[in-house]
Amino acid sequence: MTSNRTHRYAIRTGAACTALAALALGAASAPAHAEPYGYTTRLTFDKNPSDPTNSRLHWRVYRVYDSGRQVSVVNVSWRAGSGIGVKDDCASNKGWLPNGDYDVTLYPSYNGSVIKGVAFRLSNKKCSRGTTTRTDLFIHSEMTRSGGQNSRVESQRWDGNGDYKSNGCIKLKPADIKSFAASYQKYHRAGTTVRYKLAVVS
């Protein structure tokens, strides 16, 4: 009888210890209280003086914690052109964009007379000499309003590297601007103007 009682006590004690160990392990592995955070985004067009039609558009997103700590969550870039190779930012419809900050508004299905499809409208900007205000500025591609290709209309089909030239806007190939717009809409609503979102540098 003593042996049986001892055996049952050992089983009960072992089970209790196992349960306590499991509770302790669970408490140790429970995640700490998550630190609150938000997001900040940065859009930069880096002009290439050696070849304005082979510049870069950078899109970066950071998770910003209340402590001030930032963690990069998106860091991508695409080839982009601005102008027809002219580096005079006062030359309307030919020169690359003036340096500075621009407001940005995304239109997923823009229907302009020439620019169609995915397009980001930019605010007007005075050129570096202050003699010309550049207007009708976009980040755009060559596509139909629905994002497809129209082989009969030059401004709605992408033929290759020559299409990175533009009348002073920023030009991306169709697949790249669609990828950019998809990521952008996770943080900024289409149709809403975001102040000073694009920085143009050289």
pLDDT, tens digit (0-9, with 9 covering 90-100), for 19-66:
434 434 444 444 556 889 999 999 999 999 999 999 999 999 999 999
Radius of gyration over every alpha carbon of the chain, rounded to an integer in angstroms: 28
pLDDT of 92 > 70? The answer is yes
Q: How far apart are CA 106 and CA 120, in angstroms?
A: 4
Query: Beta 37-46 vs 194-201: how paired, if at all?
Result: parallel
pLDDT of 126 > 70? The answer is yes
Phi, psi for 96 (deg, rounded to 5): -70, 170
| Per-residue model confidence as pLDDT tens digits over 144-176 | 999 999 999 999 999 999 999 999 999 999 999
Residue 25's CB: how many other CB atoms inside 10 A? 10
Residue 81's CB: how many other CB atoms inside 10 A? 26
What is the reported pTM? 0.82
Q: Using CA of residue 96, residue 102, residue 108, residue 113, what is the dihedral sign? A: negative
DSSP state of 124: -
pLDDT of 77 > 90? The answer is yes
Q: How far apart are CA 17 and CA 23, in angstroms?
A: 10
> What is the average pLDDT across 174-195?
98
